[in-house]
Chain A
Amino acid sequence: MTSGLLFACVGAGLFVMGGSGVLLLKHLLRRILAFNLMGSGAFLVLVGMAQRHGIADPVTQAMVLTGIVVAVAATALALALVRHLYRLSGKLELPEAADDD
């Protein structure tokens, strides 16, 4: 087992963990954390699978590099929206729909 394949599997685990966090957690800051875990997991799968035979692949590495920078912009935008929501409603959770759950 190469380290590429190993970390791709870890990335799959992180992606699913983050995904269930986004679904289950109520606090919005925690949801943003979970969303970031999902992103990191996806990046690990991309790079790990591309070099699962042990040779570094510059194309995926460059793509993931752009992805990381976009992820931080998305996080900042999400935080701005959370702050705006708090200013308007005083809550840090999304309102549950009545027929949800």
Chain B
Amino acid sequence: MKRLVVIPAALFFVLVLILALVDLAPPAFDLRPLVAENLASSGVAHPVTAVLLNYRAYDTLLEIGVLLLALMAILAVSGSPRTTSNTSLSASDPLLAMLGRIAAPVMVVVAVYLLWAGTSRPGGAFQAGAVLAALAVLLHLTGLLAGWQQPGVRLRWGLAGGFLLFLSVGALLLLVEGELLRYPPAHAGVLILLIESGLTLSLGLILAGLFLFLSHDQGGPR
């Protein structure tokens, strides 16, 4: 039996892992003072945003690329859009629809606030994008927004826009500053806010797309 092998092995592994964690020597190099020292020239006042959009902006650039790739893979494997009847708006509960209509503008305001707050306190593009995506899912579930079938031209630009904007800012800085994504300290704040706005919109659309492209796929086994 597989179970008889896996469970003792898992117990042994977790024991060793916890012993190793408790015993681990302190790191030889501490990044925290470096983050704090350079915060003044990073363009934002919140250390997590500074790490995401300035010190390690390369990771964030690749991350939005990975998300875009995942969405394309989902579009490739999810069912072909055949009938429109499945995705037409279902006649939903009027109470739900009204609550959705009330919640929508509030959530947009929350997303914009989170985006703006990210420069100085917890918040930022990721959280704002997640709120936008949650808004799209909510509108879909209350029957106000139809599931997406095939992305049109505008939606395609919206999905890829954040990545393209990020990449073009990076390429511009490569030409001007001589290094990919090294912001000049005087303009770092504006550039980060520009990139974050693009990221918020694209992240919201991509994360919403993960749900809305999947949920139109209602067809039975063929």
Contact = CB atoms under 8 A, between A and B. Distances in A.
Interface residues of B, number: 48
Interface of B: 2-3, 6-7, 10, 13-14, 17-18, 21-22, 24, 26, 31-32, 35, 47-48, 50-52, 55-56, 59-60, 63, 66-67, 70-71, 73-74, 77-79, 126, 130, 203, 206-207, 210-211, 214, 217, 219-222
15 contacts: A5-B21, A9-B21, A9-B22, A19-B10, A45-B21, A53-B26, A55-B32, A62-B52, A65-B52, A69-B63, A77-B74, A80-B73, A81-B77, A83-B79, A88-B221
A70 B21 contact: no
A33 interface: no
Given A9-B21, A16-B10, A73 B67 contact: yes
Q: Please report whether the interface of chain B is mostly helix, strand, loop or mixed according to DSSP.
A: helix
A78 B44 CA distance: 36
Interface residues of A, number: 41
Interface of A: 5, 8-9, 12-13, 15-17, 19-20, 23-24, 45, 49, 53, 55, 57-59, 61-63, 65-66, 69-70, 72-74, 76-77, 79-81, 83-84, 86-88, 90, 101
B210 A76 contact: yes
A82 B79 CA distance: 12
Considering the complex of A and B, which 9 residue pairs feature the smallest CB-CB distances, nearest first?
A58-B47, A76-B210, A62-B51, A73-B70, A16-B14, A20-B10, A12-B17, A80-B74, A62-B52
B187 to A, nearest CB: 22
A20 B6 contact: yes
B78 A66 contact: no
Contacts of B217: 80, 83
